[in-house]
Amino acid sequence: MPGRVLSVASEYVPLVKTGGLADVAGALPGALRGQGWDMRTLIPAYPGLIAKAGAKAVVWSDPDLFGGPAQVLAGQVAGTDVLLLDAPHLYDRKGGPYGDPGDFPDNAKRFAALSWVAAQIARDGLPDGWLPDILHGHDWQAGFAPAYLRFSGDTRVKTVMTIHNIAFQGNAPAAMLGALRLPIEAFNSDTLEYYGHLSSLKAGLATADAITTVSPTYAAELMRGDFGMGLEGLIAHRSADLYGILNGVDDTVWNPETDPEVKPYGKTTLKRKAANRDALLAEFGLQDTSGPLAIVVSRLTDQKGIDMIVDTAADFVGMGGTLAILGSGEQRLEEAMKDLVKAHPGKIGLRIGYDEALSHRMFAGGDAVLVPSRFEPCGLTQLYGLRYGCVPVVALTGGLADTVIDANPMAQQANVATGVQFHPVDALAFGQALRKLMELHADSKGWAAMQKRGMSQALGWDTSALAYAQLYESLTA
Which residues make up each annotated binding site for ADP-alpha-D-glucose? 17
Compute the distance between CA of residue 344 and CA of residue 448 in angstroms, rounded to an integer: 28
CA dihedral 426, 429, 433, 436 (to 10 degrees): 170
Reading phi first (left if > 0) and then psi (alpha if -120 to 50, else beta), residue 15 is in alpha
Closest alpha carbon to 246 in 54, 27, 71 = 27
CB count within 10 Å of CB 50 equals 16
Omega of the bond leading into 345 within 30 degrees of 0 (cis):
no
Q: Measure CA of the first residue to CA of the last residue in the chain; give whole Å.
A: 8
What residues are designated binding site? 17
Count of positions (residues) in the chain: 477
Helix/strand/coil (H, E, C) string of 256-269?
CCCCHHHCCCCCCC
Burial 234-268 (b: 16+ CB within 10 A, else e): bbeebeebbbbbbbbbbbebbbbeebebbeebeeb
Cβ-contact 136, 5 below 8 angstroms: yes
Map residue 421 onto helix, strand or coil: strand
